[in-house]
Structure 1
């Protein structure tokens, strides 16, 4: 019997003998291939991990490198910003040191010729309205004609005629719209042209009128008219260029009789001097700090600034005076600030000086030390301007702004028991001025025009109880209305006077007395009191005017 090998068994002949192949004997080979595959996968995974690690480290190194570069760039920018700020404060300090020299190298800030205006015609831009639009064309509306065959056979003629009529209607409407648009365009163009011509005419006329007024101002200036002189000097000071944070306030008063001008200017506070001398960037703290300017240096710069502004103002006025009307200048320099003790606004005077043209023009301002120059000019300068320690102005009150006029002796011409109503208004005003002089005050009469209701100005000679008094004289025979008292109150406030006195040959009503009492700085003098004062101080027995009616209790 022949035996067959089991399934899965293969016979091999080895040495004449047939040997079966055992499948278990082949399993180690298959496991080895699997292991080799797993090992290959593991190697590939390790390679990927290594590559990822290398990429991560490279990215981390690149990030650190960028951070270092950004940090270096940031620090460099901060250093440059600190240097820029240092240059800025150095420039500000240098500007303060060169205030006077900058004015010396420039022309006069203003002159009548430079103030003149030039009219320059402008051209109207007609482009939006100058070009007409294209008119409608029939070709754009005409319907297509029927073909030759249709025309021969007479087909579609009715429809073509209808389309032709509709197209003609649309063409007509388009022509009407075009005509309306063209008419509107031409009308608009004409209106724009007329408006432009009117503006040009007005601009030319305004320029001509301004120049004519300027020529009149120049003639008045040459004639020594106080208002014209004060206006022109104000234009000079207003045109002067200073650093942006400088105050520009000023007041000017001119006395034509002497050729003297009183100028009051507003000086800057110590804050104009930069607190920092430089700026420095500190890397360890990542901050920019200011290197403070020494206090001694700040005070020296501020004192120099005040001196330069004073000298510069005088220089600009003298050099800008083309006709040499100004013989002398009295300058008062004030600062405006808040009194920390009271919270009120104060204006202490820090510099005051008076100098003539001849004395000032001999100075070589480009070579002087401003502080020493003021000392040479006998200026009064605050010993501690940074502490706002004031000095007393050479001229305490701006009297020349009241248009003072020459005095007239009226008392000498008074007869026995004269009637004051028979005096002229000017004579009565001079009599009142002489009365205040006899009382012990310095007094001046004002010009008849542009006096703002001021007839005279008086100043007390008492060094303790000094004060400026505005006087109005009413040579009336009837009641003086309360509106006159109210007007005087307004002038007192405007002039910043210490007191206002309203004198009349007649009397005031109860409302006037009540208003003066509530105001506190007004005094009303009626006829009887005026009679007594003239008798007491001038030695004249006068008749002031009618007897006032009895007041009701």
Structure 2
């Protein structure tokens, strides 16, 4: 190869290598840019994921805060100041008059500032002096005119301020006089004034969270010193449907974890119970005049009736609270649901999320139609002495006054039915058979069993037993959970008066039945504690061996104390959820044991068993509520709805020792009490 050809090849090869280096450099640049782009994208993706995850955590925290606020509704509400009529008054404070720029007088011109300027000759100086005086006079007149205008405007402003101040003082005096008149009406027990005052107490309260309803309808019964009201409760939607939120990168979306239905329902029931207790607390706290002895409260939501689809008040909670009982509660420490349904014996819908209603107690419209029996003339009949046929007719008239169709039956072949009634209410209404017992002694359980048989034979929806006397524990226990309603004498008289009818029990002015002596300080309180949210009835039986002394010695939800008052149910103080007061030395001499039992409340927890009854114990307290000791009891078991906790047994030494129980019953309280000789079936 020649030199020339070799140089050409080398040049060509070098050019090729240079081109190859350029291609490789470009490939490296592109790979680097690709790596940087991927790194940037990963960093951006990571930052985006972190942002979305932080956002999801924030939403979860907000849900937790919302739930915590709902759970703490009662505690926070108890910290709000009580409503006071004095707080409604306005202060007679008038803003002082502020003249502003009008306070400053117009500055008058200074003659020394108006000296003649120039003029070398006498004539020119005289002319300059005349011109200076003319300017001064002109400016002085302008300033004097401006000052006169200022003084006129100042006087007008002062006059206007005084007129406004007097109008404000007049309005304050009128407002305060109205408050004085209204509070004077409350002191007198004027129904309109009382309703207006306590409605204002609820409306103005700062205890309710934003968005909670404040609809109220109320009436006042001056004879009973009772405020009767309906209060709107929050809807089910107040409890968040979602429990938590998490970000799912693969789908690039947030995913909500639903709150379990049972948990959401339990929290909603707790919110309803807290709302009812908070209304009661606000009303009693606002009663600085001592006008209320009790409050009948029905909590409702406005929603389509599940039966008709039409808008309706659906009652989810009801309670009739006495001031004396409510005053003993420590609201900051109670379990709201247990307090409402246990200590106050109110009702709370078992499934409020499904608008399962409760039967309201006394309603405002009942008060307006009520004829007060206190102080009435002497023609009010004594139900004890009334002719039996007239008594049945009166009961039929009562049912008609309550909005039902009712007729008395023939005296023969009536099939055990004294009054046939028809309730037109959809779903819950239907045929009702009524039996009337004009007794002076306690109605025996056999009468309740006979009524139940009549209901079944007649294909009725409900049976009602009306009496002038009362019912024992066996009758109440048998009726529980069945389509039966027992109306004792006192309740009958109250119903008659509510609906404009007349009736009394016994002679006017007759002394009230003697109450057992409860003044002794020689007693103990047995406080019952347990974990879990299951609603329980804690009961006591005064026994000899395994037999209760009598039905009246069974203390439970419908029999608050024994005849001698030695054993009685009392409001529980935290941490207890139920309490029984016992004067061991005052127990009957025939008694050798006090049996403590617990049973699921079928109205509050119809599907529950005792599997949630854990960490249970009995606190032994002295009259000052000082804990003397603690007794452990057996936990509940699945499938059981009643349990013998244990018994206090009287020893030969005179002491009472506790013996642990543990026997459970699937058939609830009915099955349990039969083992102790109480007739149920």
Q: What TM-score do you get using the length of structure 1 for normalisation? A: 0.58
Tell me by how many angstroms 1:466 deviates.
7.2
Counterpart for residue 9 of structure 1: none
Contact 2:56 2:245 in 1 (8 A): yes
Equivalent position to 1:302, from 253, 265, 268: 268
Equivalent position to 2:358, from 391, 395, 402: 391
Indicate the SS of the match to 1:80: helix
Q: Distance in 1 between matches of 2:35 and 2:111?
A: 79
1:185–1:460 CA distance, 2 compared to 1 (3 A): same
Q: Which has the larger helix fraction?
A: 1
Q: Distance in 2 between matches of 1:89 and 1:107?
A: 28
Contact 1:459 1:466 in 2 (8 A): no
What is the total number of aligned residue pairs between the two structures?
383
Counterpart for residue 90 of structure 2: 117
Counterpart for residue 221 of structure 1: 186
Counterpart for residue 352 of structure 1: 318
Contact 2:195 2:218 in 1 (8 A): yes
Partner deviation per Cα, 1:285-326 (whole Å, 9 max, x = no partner): 444443332222111111111111112212222232223321
1:265–1:279 CA distance, 2 compared to 1 (3 A): same
Q: Distance in 2 between matches of 1:307 and 1:123?
A: 50
CA RMSD of aligned residues (A): 4.6
Output aligned runs, 1:55-454, within 5 Å: 72-108=46-82, 110-137=83-110, 144-146=117-119, 148=120, 151=121, 157=124, 161=127, 165=131, 171-240=136-205, 241-338=207-304, 344-376=310-342, 377-395=344-362, 398-401=365-368, 441=397
Contact 2:298 2:363 in 1 (8 A): no
Tell me by how many angstroms 1:162 deviates.
8.4
Q: Distance in 1 between matches of 2:138 and 2:154?
A: 24
Question: Higher RCO, 1 or 2 (CA under 8 Å, sep at least 6)?
Answer: 1
Q: Distance in 1 between matches of 2:300 and 2:29?
A: 74
Which structure 1 residue ranges, 5 or more long, are not aligned? 1-42, 44-49, 413-436, 444-456, 468-553
Indicate the SS of the match to 1:398: helix
Partner deviation per Cα, 1:348-405 (whole Å, 9 max, x = no partner): 1111222322233333333332222232233233232111122332225623246856
Partner deviation per Cα, 1:42-75 (whole Å, 9 max, x = no partner): x9xxxxxx99999999999888877766655554
Counterpart for residue 650 of structure 2: none
1:53–1:201 CA distance, 2 compared to 1 (3 A): farther
Q: Distance in 2 between matches of 1:111 and 1:328?
A: 19
Contact 2:239 2:268 in 1 (8 A): yes
Which structure 2 residue ranges, 5 or more long, are not aligned? 1-17, 19-23, 381-392, 407-420, 426-681
Tell me by how many angstroms 1:170 deviates.
5.3
Instruction: Pick which of 208-217 and 93-102 moved more.
Output: 208-217
1:127–1:284 CA distance, 2 compared to 1 (3 A): farther
Q: Distance in 1 between matches of 2:163 and 2:29?
A: 79
Indicate the SS of the match to 1:354: strand
1:189–1:266 CA distance, 2 compared to 1 (3 A): same
Q: Distance in 2 between matches of 1:51 and 1:196?
A: 88
Tell me by how many angstroms 1:96 deviates.
0.9
Counterpart for residue 522 of structure 1: none
Q: Distance in 2 between matches of 1:342 and 1:466?
A: 13
Tell me by how many angstroms 1:198 deviates.
2.6
Q: Distance in 1 between matches of 2:188 and 2:403?
A: 33
1:397–1:104 CA distance, 2 compared to 1 (3 A): closer
Tell me by how many angstroms 1:243 deviates.
1.2
Q: Distance in 2 between matches of 1:59 and 1:139?
A: 86
Indicate the SS of the match to 2:231: strand
Tell me by how many angstroms 1:179 deviates.
2.6
Q: Distance in 1 between matches of 2:159 and 2:401?
A: 59
Tell me by how many angstroms 1:91 deviates.
1.4
Counterpart for residue 645 of structure 2: none
CA radius of gyration, larger in? 1
Indicate the SS of the match to 2:356: coil
Q: Which has the larger strand fraction?
A: 2
Q: Distance in 1 between matches of 2:240 and 2:109?
A: 73
Contact 2:186 2:193 in 1 (8 A): yes
Contact 1:328 1:356 in 2 (8 A): yes
Counterpart for residue 6 of structure 1: none
Indicate the SS of the match to 1:336: strand
Tell me by how many angstroms 1:268 deviates.
0.9
Q: Distance in 2 between matches of 1:60 and 1:121?
A: 76
Q: What TM-score do you get using the length of structure 2 for normalisation? A: 0.48
Contact 2:228 2:364 in 1 (8 A): no
Partner deviation per Cα, 1:240-263 (whole Å, 9 max, x = no partner): 221111100111211111111211
Q: Distance in 1 between matches of 2:256 and 2:246?
A: 6
1:233–1:404 CA distance, 2 compared to 1 (3 A): farther
